[in-house]
Structure 1
C-alpha cells in the first residue's frame, strides 16, 4: 500500500514537472526563416564557378529552410493564439465588464441621482447591454475562435512533431474520420461526466473528482496530437492514460487549475486557448512515465461504453436499408460471397 502511494505521488510530480519544464522548450524554436533566407542571399556566390560549387550544398540548404519554416510556424501560431484569444477576445470581455459597464453605471447614477427608479433603470440597461454584447460579439467570436484555434493547434502539433520525431505515421482517410468522430463524441461525454461529478453531495469530494476529470481530459487533449501522429488508435490512447494515470493527472493539473480560476466559461476558454499550445509542445517532447500504476483509474470506461453503443446503433441503422434492398436470391448470394471466402 505504501509503495503504491509512493508510485502515485512520484508519477504526479513527474507529470507536473514535465508539463512546466516542457514549456521552456519553446526557447528552442528561435530560428527564423527570414534570417536564414537573408543569410543565404547575403552569402550567395557571384562567380559561375562558385555557384556550381554551391549546388552541392543546395539540398542541405533546402532542408535547413524547411526546418526553419516549421520552427517559424510554431512561433507564428503561438503568437496568433496569444493575440487572438488574449488581445482580442479576452481583452474585449475585460473592457466591457470592468470599464464600459462601470462608466455607464456612474453616468446613470449621475442622471438619476436621488431617483427611486435608479436600480430598476440600471438593471434594464445592464441586462440589455450584456445580452447585445453576448449575442452580437461573444457568441460569434467564440464560434470563430473554436474553429481557428483547432487549425492553429493542429499546425503547432504537426510542426513540433515533424521537428522532433520525423514524419507522422500515414493513416487511412476512413480510419481518420472514424477516429475523429469517436474521439470528439467520447470527450464530450467525458466532459458531461466531469460536470456531473461536481454535484456529488459530499463537500469537497465533488470538486476534487471533477478536477481530476479535467486534469486527465486536458492531458488527453495535449498528448492526443502526438499519439495520433504515431498511429495510436483511440482505445490505445485511453488505455494508456488509465494505466499511467498519476503521470497524466500531474501533467494536466497546471492547466486545469488555471482554467478553474474564473467562474466564467468564456474567460476560462480564453485562458485555455492561450496556454494550451504550450502544453502541446510539452506533451510532444515529454517522456511519459514507464511505471505502470497497479491501481488503474477507469474513469473513461463509462463514456467508452456509451460511445461504443451509439456507434454500433449508427452502423446498424446504415446497414438495415442495404439488407432490405437485397431481396433477390442472386443479390443475397453476391453479398455473402466475401464472408464465405474469409
Structure 2
C-alpha cells in the first residue's frame, strides 16, 4: 500500500456529492420539528412572515398591480414595498432562526457528546455586528462582481461562490455555538471546499436565477430548514491524500485537486479595504471594529 486507489479528484467529487446528500436530510429536520414546540412556533412564524406576507405580497403586487399606472417615479409597487420589507426581514428573521438553531444544536450535542458548545450565547458586541455585516455585504458584492464582470465564466464562478456563501450561512450558527472565530470558520470551509460547495448547491439552485426579492423570499423560507440540516451534518475530511493506495501495474495516474481552495480570499481583501477606509475617515466605532476584526481573524 503506497498511494490511493481512487484519485484525489474523485474523492473531492465524492465529498461534493456527500454535501449535496446531507443538504437533502429532510427526515432529521421533520423529526426535530415534531419533537420541539419551540421549533414549531419559530418555523410557523418564519414561514408566515417570509412565505405568506413577503412572498405572497410580492406575487399579488406583481400579478394584479404591475401595469404602467401602478408605478411611482418609475418604480413598481412590488419594488417600492418589497425592498424595505426585504431589508427589515434581514434583522427580524434572526429572532426566529436563533431558537431553531439552539434546539438543533442541543439535539446534536446529546446525540454526539463530543460536540461541546463553546457557548450557547451568540449575542455579539456592536463592533462584532458591524464587522460581520461588512463581511456579509462584501460576500454579496464579490459574488455579484464575478457574475457581471467576468465574461463567460463569471456566472459559473458566481454560482459556486454563492454555494459557498449559502453553506457558510447554514453552518454559521453551529460554528458560533462551538466558539469558532470568523477565520476558523472560513478556513474550515476552505479546507472542506468540495463538501460545502455540494451542501450549498440545492438552495443556490433554487435562488440564484431569481430576482433579488424572489431570491430573498425563497431563502427566508428555506433557510431555517438548512440551519437544522447543517447543525446535524458531518462534513467530510478535506485531506484525501492520506488514503491507502494500491500500487503496481494498472494504478491510474491521479488527477488531483487542491485540498484547500481560498474561496474567500477576495472577500477578505475587501474587508481589509473597508477597514482601511474607515480608519482613514475616522469615527467612534473604528478602533473597536479594527480590534474586533483582529480578534475574529485569529485561528483558535
TM-score, length-normalised on structure 2? Answer: 0.75
What residue in structure 2 maps to residue 170 of structure 1? Answer: 119
* Alpha-carbon spacing, 1:232–1:179, altered in 2? closer, same or farther (3 Å): farther
What residue in structure 2 maps to residue 62 of structure 1? Answer: none
Q: Partners of 2:57 and 2:283 in 1: how far apart? A: 46
Alignment check: 8 A CA contact 2:32 2:104 kept: no
What residue in structure 1 maps to residue 42 of structure 2? Answer: 77
How many residues were matched structurally?
A: 258
* Alpha-carbon spacing, 1:255–1:173, altered in 2? closer, same or farther (3 Å): closer
Unaligned runs of 5+ in 2: 111-115, 241-257, 288-300
Alignment check: 8 A CA contact 1:29 1:72 kept: no
CA positional deviation for 1:142: 2.3
Alignment check: 8 A CA contact 2:147 2:154 kept: yes
TM-score, length-normalised on structure 1? Answer: 0.67
What residue in structure 2 maps to residue 148 of structure 1? Answer: 92
Give the number of the structure with larger relative contact order, counting CA–CA contacts within 8 Å between residues 6 or more apart: 2
Instruction: From 139, 143, 146, give the equivalent of 1:194.
Output: 143
Alignment check: 8 A CA contact 1:179 1:234 kept: no
Q: Render the CA deviation track for 1:156-181: whole Å, top value 9, x for unaligned.
A: 11222123226742399997554443
Q: Partners of 1:172 and 1:85 in 2: how far apart? A: 25
Q: Render the CA deviation track for 1:125-182: whole Å, top value 9, x for unaligned.
A: 1434973624763244223322211221122112221232267423999975544433
Alignment check: 8 A CA contact 2:105 2:174 kept: yes
Q: CA RMSD in A?
A: 3.0
Instruction: From 191, 195, 202, give the equivalent of 1:243.
Output: 191
Residue 47 of structure 2 is aligned to residue 98 of structure 1: no
What residue in structure 1 maps to residue 134 of structure 2? Answer: 185
Instruction: From 4, 19, 25, give the equivalent of 2:8.
Output: 4
Alignment check: 8 A CA contact 1:222 1:276 kept: yes
Instruction: From 286, 293, 304, give the equivalent of 2:233.
Output: 286
What residue in structure 2 maps to residue 335 of structure 1? Answer: none
Residue 131 of structure 2 is aligned to residue 131 of structure 1: no
Q: Partners of 2:126 and 2:9 in 1: how far apart? A: 40
CA positional deviation for 1:30: 5.0
Q: Partners of 2:184 and 2:126 in 1: how far apart? A: 17
What residue in structure 2 maps to residue 227 of structure 1? Answer: 175
Whichever structure has more helix as a proportion of its residues is 1
What residue in structure 2 maps to residue 275 of structure 1? Answer: 222
Q: Partners of 2:79 and 2:199 in 1: how far apart? A: 36
What residue in structure 1 maps to residue 161 of structure 2? Answer: 213
Unaligned runs of 5+ in 1: 33-70, 102-121, 323-342
Residue 248 of structure 2 is aligned to residue 301 of structure 1: no
What residue in structure 1 maps to residue 32 of structure 2? Answer: 29
CA positional deviation for 1:236: 0.5
267-276 vs 160-169, greater mean Cα deviation: 160-169
Residue 35 of structure 2 is aligned to residue 87 of structure 1: no
CA positional deviation for 1:295: 3.7
Q: Render the CA deviation track for 1:32-81: whole Å, top value 9, x for unaligned.
A: 6xxxxxxxxxxxxxxxxxxxxxxxxxxxxxxxxxxxxxx21112111111
